[in-house]
């Protein structure tokens, strides 16, 4: 998980767009059984939520 997070710092577009949302700056990475949902800003990324894959996503 840590390696994926390190990659995310360098390549914020690495994750896919969140299917439930219509915002290209909110993306997700699937890490084993978890969805890491984050928002891309110009100079940083913000982790919005880390969810188990069986949970529903609410923003």
pLDDT value at residue 9: 85
Structure-token pair, residue 28: 């997700």
Bridge partners (DSSP) of residue 47 are 38
C-beta contacts of 26-30 below 8 A and 24+ residues apart: 26/59, 29/4
CA distance 41 to 55: 26
pTM of the complete model: 0.81
Give the containing element (helix H, strand E) for 10: helix 2-10
pLDDT value at residue 53: 66
Question: What are 2-59's pLDDT values in tens digits?
Answer: 787 888 888 999 999 998 899 999 999 988 889 999 999 988 999 999 888 666 656 5
Structure-token pair, residue 58: 């609410």
């Amino acid at each position: 998980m840590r390696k994926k997070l390190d990659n995310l710092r360098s390549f914020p577009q690495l994750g896919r767009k969140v299917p439930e949302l219509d915002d290209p700056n909110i993306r997700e990475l699937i890490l084993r059984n978890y969805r890491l949902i984050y928002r891309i800003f110009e100079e940083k990324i913000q982790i919005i939520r880390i969810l188990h894959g069986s949970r529903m996503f609410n923003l």
